[in-house]
Chains A and B, each alone.
Chain A
Amino acid sequence: MLGLTITDKQYSSLRATALGLCLLLLSACGANQVIVDSQFPQPALDPIPVTMGVYFSEDFKTHTFVDEPEAETERGWIVETGAAQISLWQTILNAMFEQVVYLEQAPSTETPSAQVQSVLIPTVSDLQYAIPAHTNTKVFELWLKYDIALTNSTGDPLAQWSMTAYGKTPEAFMQSNQDAVGAAAIVALRDAGANFAVNFPKVPAVSEWLKQADHGTSLREDAP
């Protein structure tokens, strides 16, 4: 009986070891996975006096870039940026606008958002990366392309534009490819925030809308 117990224990530990080895082998053969997660600094911005609604789609919240390997000998890439996107955009938007309302549903005539002056909908339309093995340089690079829509409270488009962001990080001693791509993604996200914050009021249609919103606010303030 005692002998049987010891054999069971040995068997269990053997099974655990075999499982561990299999997982190790599988992870070695699987894709390079990068989960981008970062906190972004509080922006030094003077808020625009509007109440902005923001809608993050489920695709945006869980944005993941998957790059299948071209050859059997190569490893693919899975870059998860969803959590970091939300963290960045919330940090930027909360500082950019006097009031921000996060919406659960996209604005439409059926589900209008009466409490907001307009709704901002960012989407990631493309992500590209380059690693030293591809480019023969000592730099990891990552590009992001966003499509941004500004709609009124019932979902009618007010403005629509594209925005790019770029991040790079040099090769470093003892740094894995995954860590380097993650670091480049954080630089790219910071760049996205900077690009949006600085250029938002310069988009012609947005500039026009801001003038109207400002005029509307002035009229409301002047009303007896």
Chain B
Amino acid sequence: MKTSTLTQAICLTALIGVLQGCVTAKVDEMTYNPPEAGVGASSVVLLGRRHASNYDTERDFVQCVRNHIQGKDNTIEIVEESQFLDALYPWFEPRTAPMHPGAIRELLAQPAVASKIQSLDTQYMIWIDGNTERTDASGSMTCGVGPTGAGCFGFGTWSDESNYEAVIWDFSNQAEVGRINTTTSGQSYMPAVVVPIPIIAPVKGTACDGIGEQLLQFLSAKY
């Protein structure tokens, strides 16, 4: 009896782990002059754009892309976003961040900025712009607790859509050398008959993997 309960619990956990909503992803890439031997000892910085009034590029998305790249090639040194923003304060705040690579020349004309960038040895600056938003949600679910136990009944569904663009700037040439765009969308479901079973579509995670993989191919000598 105990074994049967345990098996049921394991099966349920495995089912929840395996069940995932479907995601549609599209990645467009356009890069020029990728470093033939990788970035070597130089560093790269990934920054989120946060100047728009209606959205911010999520910090956790930038971190996810960073983890994806470093997880597959740990020789690529990626400067932590907050470390870079603090080191170059106030020049990369939402209000003051350069919007085109030509503005880097103006920044480097200032000795204080030039020395900070030199100490970080940054070769590529990658701007990530976009966000994930819930586009639709419907359904209802009721949960209750009684003397005999607790449970939920109902059905919920929602859809998410991600749209991100990564723009690669070459610091030494002060030029744009690549642009990667990803659009993903997916539908998640949550049926509940006593126990709610979430079937989540990893929309943001897929977008992160899509951009991360393309950036990895650009930056790494191994891929």
Contact = CB atoms under 8 A, between A and B. Distances in A.
B112 A198 contact: no
B152 interface: no
Given A168-B56, A170-B56, A44 B96 contact: no
A168 to B, nearest CB: 7
Contact of B87 (A40, A41, A170, A195): A41
B96 A194 contact: yes
A194 B87 contact: no
A46 B111 CA distance: 7
Main DSSP-derived SS at the B contact region: loop
Given A168-B56, A170-B56, A194 B89 contact: yes
Interface residues of B, number: 18
Interface string A28-46: 0000000000001111111
A45 B112 contact: yes
A168 B50 CA distance: 10
B113 interface: yes
Interface in A176-212: 190-191, 193-195, 197-198
Contacts of B85: 41
A43 B89 contact: yes
B101 to A, nearest CB: 19
A194 B88 CA distance: 11
A198 B96 CA distance: 8
Nearest to B85: A41
Interface size class of A (residues with CB under 8 A): 10 to 19
B95 A194 contact: yes
A44 B87 contact: yes
* Interface-centre pick from B58, B87, B94 (highest chain A CB count, 10 A): B94
Nearest to A196: B90
Nearest to B89: A41
Contact of A44 (B58, B94, B116): B116
B90 A194 contact: yes
A193 B110 contact: no
Nearest to A139: B56
Given A40-B89, A193-B90, A194-B89, A46 B112 contact: yes
Contacts of A191: 93-95
B80 interface: no
Interface in A10-51: 40-46
Contacts of B58: 170
A70 to B, nearest CB: 26
Interface in B81-113: 85-91, 93-96, 110-113
A10 to B, nearest CB: 36
A163 to B, nearest CB: 11
Contacts of A44: 87-91, 110, 112-113, 116
Contact of A197 (B56, B90, B111, B116): B90
B95 A195 contact: yes
B119 to A, nearest CB: 10
Interface string B136-161: 00000000000000000000000000
B52 to A, nearest CB: 11
A190 B110 CA distance: 20
17 contacts: A40-B89, A41-B87, A42-B89, A43-B90, A44-B87, A44-B89, A44-B110, A44-B116, A45-B90, A46-B110, A46-B111, A92-B90, A170-B56, A190-B93, A191-B94, A191-B95, A194-B95
Given A41-B85, A44-B90, A46-B112, 8 more contacts: A41-B86, A41-B89, A44-B87, A44-B116, A92-B90, A191-B93, A194-B95, A197-B90
Interface of B: 56, 58, 85-91, 93-96, 110-113, 116
